[in-house]
């Protein structure tokens, strides 16, 4: 949690330092005009529909909410199992399979997370992350209506994950239910970040930067490589320091 707090704070500083004058200045975001329109649309929908629904759902007793969320999360374990294998994380694949079997049986179809207390921590992986690990380009940044920020490889990976057991056997009411539960729970958890977002000079760019930081964190399991520019800046700083040190002798 502290890691993500520092991440949000650092991105906020970057977002407040400047706002690009050229709408196409960010090569990751070639559809910025469209994306900004979708951003405003999503904010309107959030204000009029999602926030009120989340406020109502927040009044549901926490044990019930937790159980529903656990059941929805349990459905993702088979896809994590497959993607961990595809990324050659065989130990994590075994954990994902173990979590699914234990929580689906002892945990009553996933309503109770029995696996975590016995040391089987969630090892979530998506096919989008698998493609990124394989070196597939992430594609352009897109702001989708109702869904929010994504890149092509991330969203395409979600489609592939939807073909794994047990998703194809689920009825459409169950699909709507799981999307609703996860979406409302996520919206409730985002409340603490609302003030940080509103205080940024460009909320759209702020959200984009946070998304990319989170995406890199997921792909590289919390250890993303530093951008080349950061290494160049460090080299320049190191050279300047050596020059200063030589002059001071």
Q: What pLDDT shows up at residue 244?
A: 43
Q: What is the pLDDT of residues 110-129, one digit of tens each?
A: 999 999 999 999 999 999 99
Q: Is the pLDDT of residue 19 over 70?
A: no
Of the chain, the percentage scoring pLDDT greater than 70 comes to 81
pTM: 0.79
Query: What does the H/E/C string look like for the chain?
Result: CHHHHHHHHHHHHHHHHCCCCCCCCCCCCCCHHHHHHHHHHHHHHHHHHHHHHHHHHCCCCHHHHHHHHHHHHHCCHHHHHHHHHHCCCHHHHHHHHHHHHHHHHCCCCCCCCCCHHHCCCCCCCCHHHHHHHCCCCCCCEEEECCCEEEEHHHHHHHHHHCCCCCHHHCCHHHHHHHHHHHHHHHHHHHHHHHHHHHHCCCHHHHHHHHHHHHHHHHHCCCCCCCCHHHHHHHHHHHHHHHHHHHHHC
What mean pLDDT do residues 17-45 have?
82
Q: What pLDDT shows up at residue 239?
A: 53
Residue spans of the domains in the chain: they are 25-59+126-248
The whole-chain average pLDDT of the chain stands at 86
């Amino acid at each position: 949690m502290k890691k993500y707090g520092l991440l949000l704070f650092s991105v906020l500083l970057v977002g407040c330092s400047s706002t690009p004058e050229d709408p196409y200045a960010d090569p990751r975001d070639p559809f910025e005009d469209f994306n900004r329109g979708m951003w405003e649309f999503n904010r309107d929908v959030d204000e009029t529909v999602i926030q009120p629904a989340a406020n109502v759902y927040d009044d549901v007793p926490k044990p019930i909410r937790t159980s529903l969320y656990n059941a929805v999360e349990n459905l993702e374990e088979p896809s994590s199992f497959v993607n961990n294998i595809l990324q050659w994380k065989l130990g994590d694949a075994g954990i994902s399979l173990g979590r699914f079997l234990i929580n689906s049986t002892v945990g009553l179809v996933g309503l109770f997370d029995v696996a975590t207390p016995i040391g089987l921590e969630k090892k979530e992986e998506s096919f989008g992350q698998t493609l990124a690990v394989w070196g597939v380009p992430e594609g352009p940044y897109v702001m989708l209506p109702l869904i929010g920020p994504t890149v092509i490889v991330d969203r395409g990976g979600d489609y592939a994950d939807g073909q794994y057991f047990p998703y194809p056997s689920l009825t459409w009411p169950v699909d709507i239910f799981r999307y609703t539960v996860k979406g409302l729970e996520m919206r409730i958890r985002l409340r603490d970040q609302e003030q940080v977002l509103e205080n940024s000079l460009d909320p759209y760019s702020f959200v984009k930067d946070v998304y990319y930081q989170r995406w890199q964190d997921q792909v590289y399991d919390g250890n993303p490589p530093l951008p080349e520019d950061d290494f160049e800046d460090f080299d320049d700083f190191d050279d300047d320091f050596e020059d200063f040190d030589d002059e001071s002798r």
